[in-house]
Homo-oligomer: A and B are copies of this chain.
Amino acid sequence: MDTGTGRYVTLAQVASAAKVSLATASRVLSGGERVVRPELRDRVLDAATRLQYVPNAHAQALAAGASNTVGLVMHDVGDPYFSSITRGAMQVAGEQGTLVVLGSTFRSPEREIEYVSTLRAQRARAILLVGSGFDDADYLRDMGRELENYQGSGGRYAFVSHHDLPGDAVLPDNSGGAAAIARALVELGHRRIAVASGPRNLSTVAHRVGGFLDALAEAGIPRSDVQVIEREFSEDGGYAAANDLVKAGIPATALFCVSDIMAIGALLALREHDVAIPDHLSLIGFDDIPIVRHLTPALSTVALDLERMGREAMSLVLHPEAPATPRRIHLPARLVLRASTAAPR
């Protein structure tokens, strides 16, 4: 009943155990068609289960010239933003029996490119690039070349968020959402407004800050009146930005953090300095990651349907029923005002 330690059972063994040809065994075990007589079919199935046969996916991929895995490359799985998107992507991947290879770059452009290259080596059926790209000439050139090659050899890819690179994409309305925040703050009566920004070379950050400042300008608040503090795109970055604001005497009545994660860091700093929210300072984030509704005060933010983004993106690359023109799926951003924003005192 043992398969022999150290070795895998091969199709050939199953075939001989079932007393049929290799091809027949292959047909019943892989080719879904019922082109095999029930009797032989059963013999093969029997032998396969008896021997605990598991096909060698590498051999299959090599012979068939196609694998069933897709790559999912992102900045950081530990970040709720990405893990939520991943969750959505895993849902549809699971339904399709598609295997997902995870790439967590820890925000290194080089590693992102490496992952794409590795995925290319794996003959991944598709690649999903999640998270904003880097606005860097070298990166754009290398990544562009890599993707072009990948596509040239039959691979599909899609971005989640802007990448300044051609290709299918799922695009949340970053600038629109930020603009909505700007208008809401102005409507509440805020005039002195600060922004806790991440690195501007991240396109997501650029779009959010841009949309925000533009809408503010339209509302009569010139860019020069808006204090933009640029820090890391992380909780620590938000913490640092808020600290700066406090040190400057909080010359604002509202603080827009370009991500919820940054807002959480800011909240911590503000709390340490006993800055009352929203009484002293209104605070608002972006993304609506699952936890921010549980904060005190509950964080106002712009909601993105993160899981849906993951699902849409995975569907996009799994169903290439598309023409040659890049497909771009625009997803709405919805303003969610909770307790952390109010009219200025």
Contact of A78 among B4, B86, B153 (CB under 8 A): B86
- At the interface with chain B, which of A17-25, A57-65, A173-181? A57-65
Considering only CB atoms, which chain B residue lies closest to A51 in the complex?
B149
Contact of A106 among B5, B77, B91 (CB under 8 A): B91
Beta-carbon contact of A3 and B77 below 8 Å? no
Q: How far is the CA of A100 from the CA of B86 in the complex (A)?
A: 14
Question: Is the C-beta of A272 less than 8 angstroms from some C-beta in chain B?
Answer: no
Contact of A120 among B54, B101, B118, B123 (CB under 8 A): B54
Query: How many interface residues does A have (CB within 8 Å)?
Result: 56
Beta-carbon contact of B111 and A94 below 8 Å? yes
In the assembled complex, which residues on chain B have CB atoms less than 8 Å from the CB atom of A296? Answer: 295-296
Contact of A102 among B90, B267, B268 (CB under 8 A): B90
A117 touching B86 in the complex, CB below 8 Å, given contacts A94-B106, A102-B102: no
Please indicate which of the listed interface residues A6, A69, A78, A296 has the most CB atoms of chain B within 10 Å of its own CB.
Answer: A78
Q: How far is the CA of A15 from the CA of B57 in the complex (A)?
A: 27
Q: How far is the CB of A200 from chain B (nearest CB, A)?
A: 26
A90 touching B62 in the complex, CB below 8 Å, given contacts A121-B54, A294-B267: no
Please indicate which of the listed interface residues A4, A86, A120, A294 has the most CB atoms of chain B within 10 Å of its own CB.
Answer: A294
Question: Is the C-beta of A76 less than 8 angstroms from some C-beta in chain B?
Answer: yes
Beta-carbon contact of A117 and B54 below 8 Å? yes
Question: Is the C-beta of A341 less than 8 angstroms from some C-beta in chain B?
Answer: no
In the assembled complex, which residues on chain B have CB atoms less than 8 Å from the CB atom of A99? Answer: 101, 118, 122
Known A86-B102, A101-B102; 6 more pairs at CB < 8 Å: A57-B123, A59-B62, A77-B83, A77-B87, A295-B295, A296-B296
Q: Contact residues of A with B, CB < 8 Å? A: 2-8, 52, 54-59, 61-62, 67, 69, 72, 76-78, 80, 83-84, 86-87, 90-91, 94, 99-102, 104, 106, 111, 117-118, 120-123, 145, 149, 152-154, 264, 267-268, 291, 294-296, 307
